[in-house]
Amino acid sequence: MASCICRGARGSPVSANRLFFFDGLFSLQIADDEKGHDLDLFCVPRHYENDLDKVIIPHGLIMDRTERLARDIIRDMGGHHIVALCVLKGGYKFFADLLDYIKALNQNSDKSVPLTVDFIRVKSYCNDKSTNNVKVIGGDELSNLSGKDIVETGRTMQTLLSLLSECNPKMVKVVSLLVKRTPRSSGYRPDYIGFEVPDAFLVGYALDYNEYFRDLS
Ligand code: IMP
Ligand code: MG
């Protein structure tokens, strides 16, 4: 189970999931009135049982959507070498699963994309609030594909993109598993989006609250 709504977090929980078309980009919408799934239907670690509200995106759905994102990326990259840059820590699960799907496509189709990886650590959050202070650590090489966990205001990604642009990469594409619908958004949208989610605090699948819940699959 993945991406649970955290108890006491702001925003209203969310009904029908549907594909959404925005500026030429598809994403899967988790509606604002989505009821989610009862925690008792899934295997939640005992130490988190009292801290979670509900399961908003089951793990299987994340995997199925990620598989499709991999297919879209391979289609668009047209054989160019990809330096895949993982934005740690929250992006590590999504990055690993996305790359596994890209590798599977490389192994099993006539068309394949050469791939190298790099990692960068970005920190902008204090408790459950996005701050203006974006810290970036690591990353030796410039990337043309960046794997991100969640975009809320978009500030973290915009800061990272302006740093990357100083090195004149041939192309930069951003893949984010989640984009939050929030009035705090700067309007920034990644090139590939897994899901658009309500304005609530989500944890699990490497997304944390003060470093907790990364161990919630
Ligand atoms: P932004 O700069 O406001 O777009 O914030 C993006 C970063 O804030 C993400 O990379 C996460 O680290 C963190 N973040 C934003 N929303 C959530 C959430 O719902 N759960 C966990 N982390 C979040
Ligand atoms: Mg965090």
Structure confidence by residue, pLDDT tens digits, 57-67: 999 999 999 99
Q: Whose CA is nearest to atom 13 of ligand 1?
A: 125
Other C-beta atoms lying within 10 Å of the C-beta of residue 92: 17
Rg (CA), the chain: 17
How far is ligand 1, taken at its centre, from the CA of residue 44, in Å? 22
Atom of ligand 1 nearest to the CA of 148: 10
Averaged confidence pLDDT in the chain: 84
How many CA atoms, within 13 angstroms, populate the side-chain half-sphere of residue 32?
Answer: 6
Quick one: pLDDT band at residue 147, thresholds 50, 70, 90? low
Q: Is the CB of 150 under 6 A from ligand 1?
A: yes
Q: Is 201 helix (H, G, I), strand (E, B) or coil?
A: coil
The answer to whether the peptide bond before residue 173 is cis (omega within 30 degrees of 0) is no
10-33 mean pLDDT = 59
Instruction: Give 166 or 55, the one with higher predicted confidence.
Output: 55
Q: Is the CB of 154 under 6 A from ligand 1?
A: yes
Q: What is the pTM of this model?
A: 0.86
- Judged against a pLDDT cut of 70, whether residue 143 lies above it is answered with no
Q: Average pLDDT for residues 169-186, to the nearest whole number? A: 93
Give the Cα separation of 148 and 165 in Å (integer).
Answer: 17
Most confident range, picked from 19-28, 101-110, 135-144: 101-110
| Ligand 2: centre distance to CA 33 (Å) | 25
Q: How far apart are CA 25 and CA 38, in angstroms?
A: 31
Evaluate whether 174 touches 156 at the Cβ level (below 8 Å). no
| 85 against 166, higher pLDDT | 85
DSSP 8-state class, residue 11:
S
Q: Output the CA 19–ligand 1 centroid distance in Å.
A: 23
Residues with CB under 5 A from ligand 2 (ion): 125, 208
For ligand 1, say whether the CB of 106 is within 6 Å of any of its atoms: no
Residue 32: per-residue pLDDT: 95
The reported pLDDT for the residue numbered 163 is 82
Residues 23-27 have a mean pLDDT of 66
Q: 189 in ligand 1 pocket by Cβ < 6 Å?
A: no
For 143-169, the DSSP string reads -SEEEEEEESSSHHHHHHHHHHHTT--
